[in-house]
Structure 1
């Protein structure tokens, strides 16, 4: 909705990103560290595939594929979802974008000259990164997360303009705005802490 001209969504996204970044490395980072303190016996990996493989004895790849097939079957068990071509199509596009993020950053990490993390699309911390990049771009390099956020917003803007659906919207009620700001701050904190 940010790309469609909704200023409420813009404010929510900015507050969420800033509060996530504050929780990652700012004044609220103590909350994150206190909630999830580092332990001596911490495991190296934290994915569901690794957890499932440890619990069942399957291979990690087999566990990941099994989890993916289960989620796909669960999604397609809904009749409304199965019969809606646009839902299935755009779901496949979103899934492909996530996988291409991992594949692309893995390829750059293995063939590039610099070490980069293998990541895919996530939006809480990258929104904060994007705000920071907007303020300090001369002393910072663009990251995958920043590019993702900018790409999604620009794609939504282009889509809303092409469909003729772009229109400026704002908050009508100060109480509604207050609730939205508080909710956005809690979403940013929760996205990092959870």
Structure 2
């Protein structure tokens, strides 16, 4: 996809993101695809249907990335965020994942589920998203009149020193097959993807569940679609075919007079769906008076998911306004939102951002985060059940 000018390329980059996200929002609402619900069904009822849907999305992502990367059709190494970075801040992945898992349980859903619920009329989720966005924004951006962020004040001094510097990228293919990384990625992607699919479809109940299969399949495919689109949009700059990120990095050399330069080149790299950092980006975008130089993939993804969910809610006549049931309900959602904001940025993603998008790259950090989220959520549910029994 080669465009003759940057403005057209960026427009397609943003609007294609919106359309793909709209499909995700509609299907996730329709099928009740929910990662927190998946853990809850498994822990509380022994039902693995929605857990298998989540793992199906991961398997589709892993196998799809393996095939597309082998064909040279996607770039999942130099991405935003950098899932395959050579630094492995394992403590941040684990701590962030556990905090996120606890938070999504208290708030009754992950970041993606909050967006789905907003589209369905749930006003509680608006509060949760605003709080997540505020925390996420200041985890990355400095406080007004300061060079300090929440991350630098609360975490950097004791989490960053534990990061392990690797001699390769942190994806399993590169780590285990350093002499032939391309082959290693194909082998690991194929083996892990097939094993995940085998576990998913081992269940006869799952094989007959249309919604679970549809939800997992579509979530995996939209993650792949975003990887493909963002990896292949280029600009013909006087005979030089450049990625959007490269074009912006050399803006003064290539851009015509009067062109509007994006505020940052990093969010124009190859990427796919994640929802916590984009909530912070969206808050910054709104606070700027909707400065178009701050418009990113993540902001369009959030808008698309909400719009898709709203569309399905209207079509299915399931739209209804919902508010907090009690003061306790409000406090639980507030605490959950705060923990998801901290955890999602520390772990560099959420149940979709790390659990599907990051996992599709086979990055070790993404796999650690996925496990930590599940453990954090499952333990919180057990504690909640214990406390409920004591009160009863």
TM-score normalised by structure 1 residue count: 0.86
Which residue does the alignment assign to 1:148? 301
Partner Cα separation in structure 2 for residue 52 and residue 25 of structure 1 = 36
Structure 2 residue matching 1:164: 3-state secondary structure: coil
The change in CA–CA distance for 1:149 and 1:37 in structure 2 (over 3 A counts) is farther
| 1:139 positional shift | 5.5
| 1:155 positional shift | 0.5
The correspondence for 1:177, drawn from 330, 355, 363, is 330
Greater Cα shift, 179-188 or 64-73: 64-73
Larger radius of gyration: 2
The correspondence for 1:62, drawn from 187, 193, 200, is 187
8 Å contact 1:2–1:153 — kept in the other structure? yes
The correspondence for 1:105, drawn from 203, 224, 230, is 230
| 1:83 positional shift | 1.6
8 Å contact 2:137–2:283 — kept in the other structure? no
8 Å contact 1:20–1:128 — kept in the other structure? yes
Partner Cα separation in structure 2 for residue 121 and residue 73 of structure 1 = 25
Deviation per residue, 1:67-122 (Å, 9 max, x gap):
22222222222332222122112211110100111111111255544463111000
The change in CA–CA distance for 1:187 and 1:43 in structure 2 (over 3 A counts) is farther
Deviation per residue, 1:36-75 (Å, 9 max, x gap):
3486834563334434545x98512322232222222222
8 Å contact 1:127–1:146 — kept in the other structure? yes
* Alignment of 1:164 onto 2:164: no
* Alignment of 1:41 onto 2:194: no
Greater Cα shift, 10-19 or 142-151: 10-19
Unaligned stretches of 5+ residues in structure 2: 1-116, 143-148, 235-241, 249-264, 348-392
Greater Cα shift, 21-30 or 129-138: 21-30
* Alignment of 1:50 onto 2:174: yes
The change in CA–CA distance for 1:189 and 1:40 in structure 2 (over 3 A counts) is closer
8 Å contact 2:172–2:185 — kept in the other structure? no
Which residue does the alignment assign to 2:119? 3
Q: CA RMSD in A?
A: 2.7
* Alignment of 1:187 onto 2:340: yes
Which residue does the alignment assign to 2:204? 79
The change in CA–CA distance for 1:82 and 1:10 in structure 2 (over 3 A counts) is same
Greater Cα shift, 37-46 or 21-30: 37-46
| 1:180 positional shift | 0.8
The correspondence for 1:12, drawn from 125, 128, 142, is 128
The change in CA–CA distance for 1:95 and 1:3 in structure 2 (over 3 A counts) is same
* Alignment of 1:125 onto 2:248: no
Higher helix share: 1
- Matched positions, count: 194
Structure 2 residue matching 1:63: 3-state secondary structure: helix
Higher relative contact order (CA 8 A, sep 6+): 1
8 Å contact 1:20–1:125 — kept in the other structure? yes
The correspondence for 1:90, drawn from 196, 212, 215, is 215
Deviation per residue, 1:131-171 (Å, 9 max, x gap):
21122222633211111111001110111011111111101
